[in-house]
């Protein structure tokens, strides 16, 4: 179960690195009670670049966790 969850996190990290706009658009319904104009809150190019850098760091950590979990499972079985 943990491996499946970590794989889902890796996919989400890849989306954040490749197309951070998709995550912003997917989160639009969560902004509904707080934001009146969605286009005014869209991040700038620099904001998307920071999101990509964060996605790379997230991907590195999630991949290391996945590899460590996989090695632990292999060792225990």
Quick one: 39 exposed, middle or buried, by C-beta within 10 A (0-12, 13-18, 19+)? exposed
Share of residues in the chain with pLDDT > 90 (%): 36
- Measured between alpha carbons, how far is 62 from 65 in angstroms, rounded to an integer? 5
- Measured between alpha carbons, how far is 22 from 15 in angstroms, rounded to an integer? 7
Which pLDDT score, from 0 to 100, does residue 30 have?
85
Judged against a pLDDT cut of 90, whether residue 56 lies above it is answered with: yes
What's the distance, CA 48 to chain centroid?
13
Q: Each residue of 13-39: pLDDT tens digit?
A: 999 999 999 988 888 888 888 888 877
H runs (alpha helix) in the chain:
2-18, 20-26, 28-31, 38-41, 45-76
When pLDDT is cut at 50, 70 and 90, the band that residue 6 belongs to is confident
Which pLDDT score, from 0 to 100, does residue 17 have?
94
Judged against a pLDDT cut of 90, whether residue 73 lies above it is answered with: no
């Amino acid at each position: 179960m943990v491996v499946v969850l970590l794989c889902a996190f890796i996919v989400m990290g890849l989306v954040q690195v490749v197309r951070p706009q998709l995550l912003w658009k997917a989160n639009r319904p969560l902004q509904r009670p707080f934001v009146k104009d969605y286009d005014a809150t869209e991040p700038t190019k620099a904001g998307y670049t920071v999101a990509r850098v964060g996605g790379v760091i997230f991907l590195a950590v999630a991949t290391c966790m996945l590899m460590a979990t996989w090695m632990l499972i292999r060792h225990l079985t």
